C-alpha cells in the first residue's frame, strides 16, 4: 500500500513488492506462498445474463463482453496490470489485454505462452488462475475466480482465443452480447457534504435494452481529492468543489454524473481507527512491514512512532507535500495515494487491490480533517 516508495512505487522495489504481494496475474516470476495474499480482489463477478443458446449447457460469448470484464474488475488497475507502469509490462486493460496475452511468452517461463490458442493446459494465464499454478501464487491475489469465470476463460482459449468473434462458452455463458449502454441512476441529491458518504448504482443493458445485471462495474471520479469513489459506487466527499463520476462495463462508459461537494465539519475519527485501517490494508509482507522502503515507513510500528513518521513529515517522492498534513487532505500525500486513480508518483494504493471502500477512506479523512491528532 502507500509506503512512501510504494506510495511512490518505482522500478526495482516495485518489482520486489510485486513478488512479495503476488500482484502479477500471470507472471509473478518467483514462487510465493499464497498465505502472503492481502485482501480479496474485485474479480469475483462474471458477466451473466441471456444470450443465444447453442445447447442446453452453452451460449455465445465474446472477449470484449465476457472475458475483458474479468480482467478489468480484478487485474487492470494502477500498480498491477494497467497502463504504462503495468507489472512486467503486462497490460490487461481494455483494448490492450488481448494483444498482451495471446501468443506472448510468459516472463516467468518463456517456453510457455501466456495464452496458447486452443490449449488451456499450455497457457500460463489459465494455469495461474487455477488451483496449482506452476510458479508463484494463485491469482487473483487474495481470492479465486468463480467456476463460471474459469470455465469461460477455458472455453475462450479452447476456441482459439478470438479477439472479437463469438465462441461457445461453458456453463450457461456470460453477458450473451456486448454492452449497449451504462446509465448511472441519479441519486436523490446531487450534493454531498465533506466527510459524508453516498452510494450510486448503474443499469447496464445490451444493444437491445436487455438488462445485464451481473456485469462488474468500474467506477471513476474526475477528482479523487474532491470526491472519492471506490470500486462499488461508494462516494465520499473530500473537499468542497465539483467532480464527475463515471461507470464502465465492458468497453462502454456512462455519461458523467456531476456532483457537488459542500463544506462541512464532520465528526472526528481517532488515530487508533485510522491506524487500524493502515495496518489491515498496508502492513503486509513485502510492503509496509519489512522496513526496506525509503523513510522506513512501516505501519506495524507502535502507534506513537507511526504517528511521528506520518504527521508533518515530507513525502519521499513529493517533498512539497507532507505524508499527512493536519486538516488538509489535499495536501496529504497519504490520502492522495489512496484517492487518485493516477497519482503523480507511482500507482493508486492499496497495490493490487481494489480501492479502499468509501467507508474506510472516511475514517482516514475524518482523522486528517480533525487535525490528525495522536489519540485513541
pLDDT for 21 equals 35
**Residue among 312, 314, 285 nearest 300 (CA):** 285
| CA–CA gap between residue 127 and residue 119 (Å, rounded) | 11
Task: Report the chain (376 residues): mean pLDDT per 10 consecutive residues.
Answer: 36 32 38 31 32 43 90 72 74 89 88 91 88 74 76 91 86 56 93 98 91 83 97 95 91 92 97 92 73 71 92 91 96 95 79 83 98 88
Q: What is the pLDDT of residue 177?
A: 52
CB 314 within 8 A of CB 323: yes
Distance CA 285, CA 361 (A): 22
114-141 burial, b for 16+ CB within 10 Å, e for fewer? bbbbeebeebbbbbbbbeebebbbbbbb
Question: Cell match 490449449: residue?
Answer: 119
Res 6: pLDDT: 35
Position 243 scores a pLDDT of: 98
Specify the pTM. Answer: 0.61
CA distance 233 to 217: 8
Give the pLDDT confidence score for residue 245 in this predicted structure: 97
Amino acid at each position: 500500500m502507500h509506503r512512501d516508495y510504494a506510495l511512490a512505487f518505482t522500478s526495482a522495489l516495485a518489482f520486489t513488492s510485486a513478488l512479495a504481494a503476488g500482484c502479477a496475474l500471470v507472471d509473478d516470476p518467483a514462487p510465493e506462498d499464497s498465505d502472503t495474499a492481502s485482501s480479496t480482489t474485485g474479480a469475483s463477478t462474471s458477466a451473466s445474463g441471456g444470450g443465444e443458446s447453442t445447447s442446453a449447457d452453452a451460449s455465445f460469448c465474446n472477449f470484449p463482453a465476457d472475458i475483458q470484464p474479468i480482467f478489468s474488475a480484478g487485474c487492470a488497475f494502477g500498480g498491477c496490470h494497467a497502463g504504462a507502469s503495468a507489472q512486467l509490462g503486462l497490460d490487461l486493460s481494455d483494448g490492450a489485454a488481448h494483444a498482451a496475452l495471446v501468443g506472448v511468452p510468459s516472463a516467468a517461463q518463456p517456453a510457455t505462452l501466456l495464452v496458447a490458442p486452443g490449449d488451456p493446459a499450455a497457457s500460463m494465464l489459465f494455469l495461474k488462475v487455477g488451483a496449482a499454478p506452476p510458479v508463484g501464487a494463485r491469482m487473483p491475489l487474495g481470492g479465486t475466480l468463480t467456476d463460471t469465470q474459469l470455465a469461460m476463460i477455458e472455453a475462450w482459449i479452447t476456441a482459439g482465443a478470438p479477439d472479437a468473434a463469438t465462441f461457445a462458452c461453458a456453463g450457461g455463458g456470460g453477458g450473451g452480447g456486448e454492452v449497449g449502454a451504462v446509465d448511472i441512476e441519479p441519486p436523490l441529491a446531487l450534493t454531498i457534504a465533506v466527510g459524508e458518504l453516498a452510494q450510486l448504482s448503474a443499469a447496464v443493458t445490451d444493444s437491445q435494452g436487455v438488462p445485464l445485471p451481473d456485469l462488474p462495474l468500474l467506477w471513476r471520479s474526475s477528482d479523487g481529492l474532491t470526491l472519492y469513489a471506490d470500486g462499488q459506487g461508494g462516494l465520499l466527499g473530500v473537499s468542497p468543489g465539483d467532480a464527475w463520476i463515471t461507470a464502465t462495463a465492458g468497453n462502454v462508459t456512462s455519461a458523467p454524473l456531476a456532483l457537488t461537494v459542500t463544506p462541512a465539519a464532520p465528526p472526528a475519527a481517532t488515530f487508533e481507527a485510522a491506524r487500524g485501517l493502515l495496518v489491515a490494508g498496508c502492513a503486509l509482507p513485502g510492503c509496509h512491514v519489512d522496513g526496506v522502503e525509503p523513510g522506513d515507513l512501516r505501519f506495524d510500528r507502535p502507534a506513537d512512532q507511526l504517528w511521528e513518521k506520518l504527521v508533518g513529515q515530507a513525502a519521499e517522492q513529493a517533498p512539497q507535500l507532507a505524508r499527512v498534513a493536519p486538516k488538509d487532505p489535499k495536501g496529504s500525500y497519504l490520502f492522495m495515494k489512496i484517492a487518485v486513480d493516477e497519482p503523480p508518483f507511482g500507482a493508486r494504493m492499496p497495490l493490487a487491490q481494489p480501492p479502499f471502500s468509501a467507508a474506510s477512506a472516511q475514517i482516514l479523512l475524518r482523522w486528517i480533517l480533525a487535525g490528525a491528532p495522536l489519540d485513541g
